[in-house]
Amino acid sequence: MNLAEGVQFVSLVILGGLMIFSALGVVLLSNIVYSAFLLALTFISVSGLYILLNAGFVAAAQVLVYVGAVNVLILFGIMLVNKVEVFSEVKNAWVGKAATGAVCAGLFGLIGTMVTSHPWAISTAPAAGDKAIEVIGQHFFSDFLLPFELASILLLVALVGAIVLARREFLPDLVAPQQEALTLPERPRELVAAGVRDED
């Protein structure tokens, strides 16, 4: 193992560990804001893995779209509704947690056996490397033309749907009377009549 391969191996271990632990943090931490920031760390580790897989453009696109856009959207969403609420204690909460844990462990085992048992057809073609972005562009306009155009329609539908949902103009009954978003309690003030003269 030469120096370059050693560095790649260490990077892989660090990135993988970072990804797994930050993803666990996203799920397990009770503070939802921490979860959102750890999600950004997860995305960045995934982007590092893409670099190790010779996909520089995909790595940068991952950072741009997921960290720069999706995660900012999530953070806006959280910060705009981030009210401290006190939930009442649920009795026998451990039953739900145990059931969730069992389902998750089952899913993990299922996917794990599938991954190890499936005969993956690993491509032997040389990686496009630095030319990848040009190759992607050529594919977009030859054999992947229809998916490319459909992607724009998908984006359009997502935009329209998001605006409709966020503005809720078709659900007028569900809109609760608007509360003041930010209220500052006024301190009781004594009524002072200083300097008022009604002589003139």
Residues near other proteins (CB under 8 A): 2-4, 7-8, 11, 33, 37, 40, 51-52, 54, 56-57, 60-61, 63-65, 67-73, 75-77, 79-84, 126-127, 129-138, 140-141, 145, 148-149, 151-153, 155-156, 158-160, 162-163, 166-167, 181-182, 184-185
We find the least distance from the C-beta atom of residue 89 to other proteins, in angstroms, to be 22
We find the least distance from the C-beta atom of residue 121 to other proteins, in angstroms, to be 17
If the CB atoms of residues 107 and 150 are measured against other proteins, the closer one turns out to be: 150
We find the least distance from the C-beta atom of residue 115 to other proteins, in angstroms, to be 22
We find the least distance from the C-beta atom of residue 145 to other proteins, in angstroms, to be 7
If the CB atoms of residues 5 and 198 are measured against other proteins, the closer one turns out to be: 5
* C-beta neighbour count of 140 within 10 angstroms: 14
- The answer to whether 19 touches 49, Cβ cutoff 8 Å, is yes
If the CB atoms of residues 69 and 99 are measured against other proteins, the closer one turns out to be: 69
If the CB atoms of residues 21 and 37 are measured against other proteins, the closer one turns out to be: 37
Question: What CA–CA distance (Å, rounded) separates 41 from 76?
Answer: 17
